[in-house]
Structure 1
Amino acid sequence: MVENWWNDPNYSHGFLVPLVSFGLIWRRRTQLKRAAAGPEPWGLLFIGIGLFMLLVGQLGHEFYLKRLSLIPVLWGLTLLNWGWKLGAKVIFPFAYLALMVPLPYILYDAVAFPLRLVAASIAGWFFELFGVPVLVEGNVLHLPHIVLNVVDACSGIRSLISLLAVGVIMAYMVLPNRWVKVLVVVFVIPVAVFTNALRVVAGGILAKFYGPQALEGTVHDFTGWLVFMAAFALLGGITWLLNRLTRRKEVANES
């Protein structure tokens, strides 16, 4: 799995997920010490579930299931050693670890291709808005000066996976209301697709003035970095706005 994180740009955030999970537990260490109780035999059940997932994944040669099995085993060990009260307080940090596990390629492809079509459609709308003639055929945009193929990297899937890890932790730590937290996570999808459509538009404009080489190498990578930072800023702005609206509503209800 670490090899996947290192070699696949879609999952490079995987290095940070365990650190974030550990940080969430560490910041509540005093509460957890007070919550620690005696052994809880029910922990064996969750360890057994995790080991069963590992066995099924091994027999079916399914890496996702094998890797995911680590989480119930770890939480089961925690429950077995320190009881329900402490186990309940660390459910989220352990569940968050699921975001470090690379998706099965079947699921990845099933999500990536529709996102490519949506990103191409939105980019085509922007080109028309800017007065640039464009013909959209699936995930291919025909411009007067170049043909753009919206590949997986520009579909939003890469930003979606990374932003999901960011959005979940941002919602968990900033927002007070459970349903508002869910709303922020839901917003990750349109934010990722929208900003990556803008990346396609930026690539088309750069190619018009600087040629096809603007879609390769350092310029292409830098544009991708800017798009992700824009998506992160947009998601942060949405979280801040929802937090303010929620706080105001709570104050109004109390008064």
Structure 2
Amino acid sequence: MSNPAPTTPESASTGNPKSKPALITIVSLLITVAAIVWFFGIETRFGGARDTSVFGWLRSAWNAETDYEHGILFPFVIIGLIVYQLKNLRAVAGQGSWLGLIAVLLGAVYYVISYRTFQPRIAAGGLPFILWGGAYFLWGWQVARILIFPLFFFWLAIPLPSFQQATTHLQLLATSLAHHGSGLFGVETRVVGTTILPVHGDWKPLDIATGCSGIRSLMALLMISSAWAYVAKIKLWQKALLFLSALPLAIIGNALRVISIFVIAEYGDAEWAATTWHDWSGLLLFYPFSLFLLLVLHSIFEGGLPWKKNSKRRLTRQTVKAKEESVFIPES
């Protein structure tokens, strides 16, 4: 007489196997409906218009005034991070867990609260819970564990209220660095508030506005450094340092950008420096400088250039696998 198979927590959490496919279909449908509501809206009343969806609000909030112009890149970065983990996701996909429905319910609560408080950013914050909980319910904890960062990475794309008020200190810091840094290149200036005036030069005073404070570059660099740290093959504390390095890099890089404007205005074409170079220096100077320093820091943690270290790892794994396959085990 055979003994009944012991009940494990995993098998107990799956419930009746006959009812599972139908429930999966229902929950998947609900998650799809929630995503449609999130993207297209059902009289959500956000932004003063009854037909504005959460995604519609986000698209309008990703602008220069909020310093979140880079927000439109987040969906593509998230998709890229998930594709990067696709092989691992397929390898660990298994039976789902009912616990995922708790996260789905929490995301729905976020949406209800946002509807009642007219705060679309709350609904935006709830979307990762819906998607993550759905993955947890359908494919289990191992898949959900891998998707924690790619999905909740979206929180960095949500514009914060009254965010520009935090730029005051960055404006003053950028003004001070530009003033003292320009002096190193022989450009004498004097400071009045956040305005820098030439002492001997024949160029118009330049104001360090909120856009020149570096906050816009900082937020974009935080997006880059966090995704970079996620895919880097380094220790957790090194990932944290790589992510946090965005703050000093943004301050230094922005200071160099502003200094270059004053140097060109002093020794070259002041009008070109204040217009063309001002508009393009972020793309041509700030980001190459910041990305290069991120690569330097990453290489220090890796002990060499990342792509060379990864090539060595792959070669080592292939060598070990070849040796294992070549081992002859005689029959007993």
Q: TM-score, with normalisation over the residues of structure 1?
A: 0.85
1:104 aligns with 2:160: yes
User: 1:93-136 CA distances to partner (integer Å, 9 max, x unpaired)?
Assistant: 112222232x2241x21332211111111111112223332223
Larger Rg: 2
Picking from 242, 259, 282, the partner of 1:224 is: 282
Read off the aligned partner of 2:196 and give its amino acid letter.
L
Q: Quote the offset at 1:7 in angstroms.
A: 6.7
Identity %: 28
User: 1:44-79 CA distances to partner (integer Å, 9 max, x unpaired)?
Assistant: 211222222222223332232221211111111111
1:24: which partner in 2? 81
1:79 aligns with 2:110: no
Moved over 6 A (4+): 6-9
Picking from 204, 227, 241, the partner of 1:169 is: 227
Picking from 115, 120, 125, the partner of 2:175 is: 120
Change (3 A) 1:10 1:240: farther
Secondary structure, counterpart of 2:187 in structure 1 = coil
Q: Distance in 2 between matches of 1:136 and 1:7?
A: 26
- Given that 1:154 and 1:199 are in contact with CA atoms closer than 8 Å, whether structure 2 keeps it comes out as no
Change (3 A) 1:202 1:31: closer
1:252: which partner in 2? none
1:153 aligns with 2:153: no
Picking from 243, 246, 269, the partner of 1:188 is: 246
Secondary structure, counterpart of 1:90 in structure 2 = helix
Q: Quote the offset at 1:6 in angstroms.
A: 6.6
Alignment RMSD, CA only? Answer: 2.3
Q: Distance in 1 between matches of 2:205 and 2:106?
A: 50
Q: Quote the offset at 1:34 in angstroms.
A: 3.4
1:93: which partner in 2? 150
1:39: which partner in 2? 96
Q: Distance in 2 between matches of 1:129 and 1:219?
A: 20
Q: Where in structure 2 are there 5+ consecutive unaligned residues?
A: 1-57, 307-332
1:13 aligns with 2:70: yes
Q: TM-score, with normalisation over the residues of structure 2?
A: 0.67
- Given that 1:154 and 1:197 are in contact with CA atoms closer than 8 Å, whether structure 2 keeps it comes out as no
- Given that 2:242 and 2:297 are in contact with CA atoms closer than 8 Å, whether structure 1 keeps it comes out as yes
Give the stretch that moved more between structures: 207-216 or 68-77: 207-216
1:238: which partner in 2? 297
**Which protein has the bigger helix share?**
1
1:141 aligns with 2:199: no
Change (3 A) 1:27 1:210: closer
Secondary structure, counterpart of 1:176 in structure 2 = coil
- Given that 2:93 and 2:140 are in contact with CA atoms closer than 8 Å, whether structure 1 keeps it comes out as yes
2:3: which partner in 1? none
1:198: which partner in 2? 256
Q: Where in structure 1 are there 5+ consecutive unaligned residues?
A: 248-255
Secondary structure, counterpart of 2:196 in structure 1 = strand
The higher relative CO (CA closer than 8 Å, separation ≥ 6) is in 1
Q: Quote the offset at 1:177 in angstroms.
A: 0.6
Q: Distance in 2 between matches of 1:81 and 1:91?
A: 15
Change (3 A) 1:41 1:97: same
Secondary structure, counterpart of 2:105 in structure 1 = helix
